[in-house]
């Protein structure tokens, strides 16, 4: 452990920590935009600047190692002024249309602008450049008029999904997040997992599937397990007026020990079947080539009768049970138990076996 002084308070932190980590471990809040604990350090947004006594320049705390006997100020008058200028520079390329933005009231950048009193920018980005929202994919809305170039999405795509579908194109005022040759996401290695949406601190990346269905403060978040496969990924169902309107990530190791917020395209965007008009809600029995609705008792009696007839006529090995990762382990256990103990066959397989 090393000892340093932050805002007049002597604190300790493990050797090798950054200044930001030292502050976080000791309950000292520092604003961050490009920093993400699950991604490699970038130090690009500069919102986390602090004053280190004896050094001529402010230091980005997320990439500056903490050293023994350092004296640090995180909220001095100069630091606050610097952060206001940084927010103005970032806001120069950010369109303030918060009232119609999907991330309104759930936007880190908006929170900091409110905290530091930034309503507009004195600076002009790229001679007033406006990016068209043209990508035709059905899952992600990419509005780079709200992008602050924190590069979280690029790092998440490379380090969590390992797709490397996007990167920074050009430099300076012309810089933007882009696929190769600035093409569509569908023509890139993108797998539409939505990890970029998960880490984006603004409304530059949002879900098209959930668009217009509810603000973050209007929904209740219910922690549950994805049913698409047997991995056991955890996510939050966003519920408004007793209807599921979206999926967001729980990134804690406690809430999501398997996936820590990461999801595939089905888990993050494939929830709309829940309220589909053609979803089956009652058993169906086919008679004379047509399906009719039936009660559960009638349907189960018919299945039991037919399985018994087939077993008697053709033997137990003429039947097999094919189970699914979309049901619980307990239900899969009962399915194989029924197959072996009742039907009398070991012909049991599973969709995720291979």
Cβ neighbours of residue 178 closer than 8 Å, sequence gap 6 or more: 166, 167, 168, 169
CA 226/CA 267 separation, integer angstroms: 6
Domain presence at residue 35: yes
254 and 198 fall within a common domain: no
263 and 302 fall within a common domain: no
Q: Is 158 strand, coil or helix? A: helix
Q: Out of 175, 207, 239, pick the residue that ends a domain.
A: 207
129 and 193 fall within a common domain: yes
Domain presence at residue 306: yes
Domain presence at residue 282: no
pTM of the complete model: 0.84
CA 252/CA 260 separation, integer angstroms: 6
If you ran DSSP here, which 8-state letter would residue 66 be given?
P
252 and 312 fall within a common domain: no
Domain presence at residue 112: no
190 and 225 fall within a common domain: no
314 and 345 fall within a common domain: yes
Domain tally, the chain: 4
Q: Out of 207, 230, 245, pick the residue that ends a domain.
A: 207
What local confidence, expressed as pLDDT, does residue 55 receive? 93
185 and 224 fall within a common domain: no
What local confidence, expressed as pLDDT, does residue 208 receive? 94
130 and 56 fall within a common domain: no
Domain presence at residue 322: yes
Question: In terms of Cα–Cα distance, which of 24, 34, 18, 30 is closest to 199?
Answer: 34
Domain presence at residue 93: no
CA 340/CA 7 separation, integer angstroms: 69
CA 66/CA 41 separation, integer angstroms: 15
CA 272/CA 270 separation, integer angstroms: 6
Domain presence at residue 91: no
For 260, half-sphere exposure in the C-beta direction (CA atoms, 13 angstrom radius) is 8
CATH of the domain at 155: 3.30.70.20
CATH of the domain at 221: 2.20.25.90
Q: Compute how many other C-beta atoms are within 10 angstroms of the C-beta atom of residue 314.
A: 10
CATH of the domain at 54: 3.10.20.740
Q: Which residues of the chain have pLDDT under 70?
A: 125-129, 354
169 and 234 fall within a common domain: no
Cβ neighbours of residue 215 closer than 8 Å, sequence gap 6 or more: 104, 105, 106
What local confidence, expressed as pLDDT, does residue 37 receive? 93
Q: Which residue segment(s) compose the domain that 245 sits in?
A: 216-275
300 and 257 fall within a common domain: no
Domain presence at residue 119: no
243 and 312 fall within a common domain: no
How buried is 150 (Cβ within 10 angstroms: 0-12 exposed, 13-18 middle, 19+ buried)? buried
Q: Out of 43, 60, 75, pick the residue that ends a domain.
A: 75
Backbone angles phi, psi at 259, to 5 degrees: -115, -15
Report strand pairing: 2-6 vs 9-13: antiparallel
3 DSSP β-pair partners: 12
259 and 190 fall within a common domain: no
């Amino acid at each position: 452990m090393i000892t340093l002084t932050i805002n007049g308070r002597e604190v300790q932190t493990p050797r090798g920590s950054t200044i930001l980590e030292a502050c976080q471990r000791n309950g000292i809040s520092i604003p961050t935009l490009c920093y993400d604990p699950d991604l490699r350090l970038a130090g690009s947004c500069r919102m986390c600047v602090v004053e280190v006594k004896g050094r001529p320049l402010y230091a980005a705390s997320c990439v500056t190692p903490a050293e023994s006997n350092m004296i640090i100020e995180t909220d001095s008058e100069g630091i606050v002024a610097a952060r206001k200028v940084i927010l103005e520079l970032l806001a120069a390329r950010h369109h303030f249309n918060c009232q119609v933005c999907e991330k309104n009231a759930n936007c880190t950048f908006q929170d900091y602008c409110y905290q530091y009193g930034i309503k507009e920018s004195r600076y002009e980005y790229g001679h007033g450049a406006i990016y068209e929202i043209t990508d035709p994919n059905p899952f992600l809305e990419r509005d780079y008029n709200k992008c602050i170039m924190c590069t979280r999405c690029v790092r998440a795509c490379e380090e969590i999904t390992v797709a490397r579908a996007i990167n920074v194109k050009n430099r300076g005022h012309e810089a933007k997040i882009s696929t190769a040759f600035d093409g569509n996401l569908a023509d890139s290695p993108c797998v539409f997992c939505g990890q970029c949406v998960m880490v984006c601190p603004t409304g530059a990346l949002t879900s098209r599937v959930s668009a217009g269905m509810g603000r973050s403060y209007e929904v209740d978040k219910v922690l549950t397990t994805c049913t698409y496969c047997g991995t056991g990924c955890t996510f939050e169902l966003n519920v408004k007026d007793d209807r599921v309107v979206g999926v967001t990530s729980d990134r804690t190791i406690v809430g999501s020990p398997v996936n820590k917020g990461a999801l595939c395209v089905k888990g993050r965007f494939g929830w709309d079947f829940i309220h589909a008009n053609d979803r089956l809600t009652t058993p169906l029995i086919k008679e004379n080539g047509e399906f009719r609705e039936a009660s559960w008792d009638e349907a189960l009696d018919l299945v039991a009768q037919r399985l018994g007839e087939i077993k008697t006529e053709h033997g137990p090995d003429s039947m097999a049970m094919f189970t699914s990762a979309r049901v619980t382990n307990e239900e899969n256990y009962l399915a194989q138990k029924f197959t072996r103990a009742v039907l009398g066959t070991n012909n049991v397989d599973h969709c995720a076996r291979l």
